[in-house]
Chains A and B, each alone.
Chain A
Amino acid sequence: MRLFEAIRSAFSAILANALRSLLTMLGIVIGVAAVIAVVAIGSGARNLVDQQIRSLGANLAIVTPGNVTQGGARLGAGAASSLTDDDAEAIRREIDGVVAAAPFVQGGAQVVAGGSNWGTRIYGIDGDWFSAREWDVAEGRTFDPEEIRRGDIVILLGQTVARNLFGDEDPIDQIVRVRNVPFRVIGVMASKGQSAFGQDQDDVIFVPLDAGRRRVIGRNYAKDGSVGSIFVKFANESDIEPGIESISDLLRQRHRITAEQEDDFSIRNLTEIANTASASANTLSMLLAAVAAVSLLVGGIGIMNIMLVSVTERTREIGLRLAVGARPRDILSQFLIEATTLSTIGGALGIALGVGAAYLVAQLAGWPSLVSTNAILMAAGFSALVGIFFGFYPAQRAAKLDPIEALRRE
């Protein structure tokens, strides 16, 4: 019998018991839908994490002040600002693979513009900062080297701040006041979105490092030339680990730390943190997909069950087909094709449902979801395989029937 006709006759057999067929397919439908939806939402989430990694800036490490021992008392991390501009300069100059070393200070600030005000984070930065963070302005311009050197009172606004202070108005060349210091807005940063830790990265303002140190962020930075932290950007991911070692040696030497003393700084590899977040998103979606795959298995068993019932019900039909000249393998392929058709229709319905569900979740819950063509192809292939695998035993039972016995069966 030709394949096309076999599929046609399989369809008519399936339609003859429409409700039963539908219920049988349900396992596959739910299984495939769950796999598609979970994979879509999972890869959406992973995509988001990837985006956040990129938003942080690639190949980045951060040097922060460590604990300081003062008169035998060990103060906590960040209690003192042990890092300086010169440390950053030394890192930039002496460590292999470093493309940028950006010292910065940060603090909280209330920004006032005309009648409105907004509390946000303020960063005092130098020229390397935006290249380290791979960040650029959306409007206006960034600081020029002279402004950085002189510590001019000019300011860059994050998107969130710009929106909250100025709404639809153009903020460029407007004056905003931070701690009563009038800063001139020279640019608005491009949007970065959420960080991997859920912070709004656009709720921020930037001023030149010296302007921040002297005029706005007083705390701990009294000592001239001291900074909060230093972003260090490496050329390649492979440079990060050896680079961190070298920076550690360099800073110990510069800070005159003896072999018995603890570091007064700490260095973290930010890429690693991001990778961990990405890996855990991956693991979670794999786990969910595995659970969904189990329901596909259950669906397959449902198909096997109903095919066995069908073979029993149609024993006489099988006997007759054998009598008029069907070979055992014709019977085998007939039932195999029927099971496969059943599971494939179920798979198609499941794909439609899964894509719909992924879309709905994306719309309602605001989670990102990404339906991949691969997942759809795999689901379709897998559901056909389920039909073949679980249809084989019933089909083989049908093919092995003795025509005389089969014809005699009521």
Chain B
Amino acid sequence: MALIETRDLSRVYDLDAGRVVALDGVSLDIDQRDFVAVMGPSGSGKSTFMNLIGCLDRPTGGGYRLAGTAVESLDADGLARLRNREIGFVFQQFNLLPRVDALGNVELPMVYAGFSRRTRRKRALQALGRVGLADRDHHRPMQLSGGQQQRVAIARALVNSPSLLLADEPTGALDSRTANEIMALFQELNREGVTIVLVTHDAEVGRHAHRLVRFRDGRVIEDRRQTPVDARDLAPEAAE
């Protein structure tokens, strides 16, 4: 079963200027452990698509299942719960809380999941270790470089063991060398079994993904597999 299943997914905005169809009946399946780059020019609908599969927005038409849950039927609290458990967000601007140290930032999703302080501390340290920042736990965002800040944000996205890592232009604010390091981290996480959907307009970044989905005018115009999903990970499924 696919992790993400969208069927005729649509999002229409009723603005003063008139109706804007941001997403026009997109049907797409994304398997577990896949690494998908969503590309397209601005206004192509890729951000709308990302907001919808990230459960930040609700479709105006069609259906969406995430890990078997029919998202369109959930209320605000249900969506919050799903974001908390199943999705880790990584943003272009990192979006770290400036007054809180790296550890506290990583703990944030677990605060809303209701974990005890001790568990949070332990798992946040593990997550920071996973992105190579175990020694920066008490640094505040201001005291970290852009690449380090994005690593903290990735640790935060991973800490609740979500089924999906959703990254919106994660390298957009970074220099190319740091961007490559972050992409290498994504690939490594993907090899470890994390499903990643990454929105970008940078072809170079898109090249790192296994699968490339290109949007234009609210529709998918290209869906190309660049590399197979990691063979080691596919093997057990193939055996079934």
Interface of A toward B, CB cutoff 8 Å: 1, 5, 12-13, 16, 316-317, 319-330, 403-404, 407
B232 within 8 Å of A (CB atoms):
no
User: Are A320 and B97 in contact, with the CB atoms below 8 A?
Assistant: yes
The answer, among A1, A317, A323, for a CB contact under 8 Å with B83, is A323
User: Are A327 and B109 in contact, with the CB atoms below 8 A?
Assistant: no
Task: Tell me the bound Cα distance from A354 to B81 in angstroms.
Answer: 47
Task: Tell me the bound Cα distance from A79 to B82 in angstroms.
Answer: 97
User: Are A407 and B80 in contact, with the CB atoms below 8 A?
Assistant: no
User: Are B80 and A12 in contact, with the CB atoms below 8 A?
Assistant: no
Known: A403-B56, A404-B56, A404-B57. A324 touches B99 (CB 8 A): no
Residue of B nearest to A403 (CB): B56
User: Are B80 and A325 in contact, with the CB atoms below 8 A?
Assistant: yes
Render B80-100 as a binary contact track against A, CB cut-off 8 A, 1 for contact: 110111000101000101011
Q: Nearest 9 A-B pairs (CB), nearest first?
A: A325-B84, A324-B109, A325-B112, A327-B80, A320-B95, A403-B56, A327-B77, A323-B89, A325-B83
B113 within 8 Å of A (CB atoms):
yes
Task: Tell me the bound Cα distance from A182 to B156 in angstroms.
Answer: 100
Please, could you name 14 A-B residue pairs with CB atoms under 8 Å apart, sorted by A?
A320-B91, A320-B95, A320-B108, A321-B108, A321-B112, A323-B54, A324-B89, A324-B112, A325-B112, A325-B113, A326-B80, A403-B56, A407-B56, A407-B91
Residue of B nearest to A326 (CB): B112
Q: How many residues of B contact A (CB 8 A)?
A: 25
Task: Tell me the bound Cα distance from A403 to B91 in angstroms.
Answer: 13
Known: A324-B89, A325-B84. A5 touches B111 (CB 8 A): yes
B12 within 8 Å of A (CB atoms):
no
Interface of B toward A, CB cutoff 8 Å: 51, 54, 56-57, 76-77, 80-81, 83-85, 89, 91, 95, 97, 99-100, 108-109, 111-113, 117, 156, 160
Known: A317-B97, A323-B56. A328 touches B76 (CB 8 A): yes
Kindly list chain A residues whose C-beta atoms are within 8 Å of the C-beta of B117. 5
User: Are B109 and A325 in contact, with the CB atoms below 8 A?
Assistant: yes
User: Are A330 and B95 in contact, with the CB atoms below 8 A?
Assistant: no
Task: Tell me the bound Cα distance from A316 to B76 in angstroms.
Answer: 19
Kindly list chain A residues whose C-beta atoms are within 8 Å of the C-beta of B91. 320, 407
**How distant is B169 from chain A, measured CB to nearest CB, in Å?**
12
User: Are A404 and B99 in contact, with the CB atoms below 8 A?
Assistant: no
**How distant is A73 from chain B, measured CB to nearest CB, in Å?**
90
Residue of B nearest to A16 (CB): B99
User: Are B76 and A327 in contact, with the CB atoms below 8 A?
Assistant: yes
User: Are A324 and B108 in contact, with the CB atoms below 8 A?
Assistant: yes
The answer, among B80, B81, B160, for a CB contact under 8 Å with A322, is B80
Residue of B nearest to A320 (CB): B95
Task: Tell me the bound Cα distance from A324 to B108 in angstroms.
Answer: 7
**How distant is B103 from chain A, measured CB to nearest CB, in Å?**
14
Task: Tell me the bound Cα distance from A12 to B54 in angstroms.
Answer: 30
Task: Tell me the bound Cα distance from A328 to B100 in angstroms.
Answer: 21
User: Are A13 and B99 in contact, with the CB atoms below 8 A?
Assistant: yes
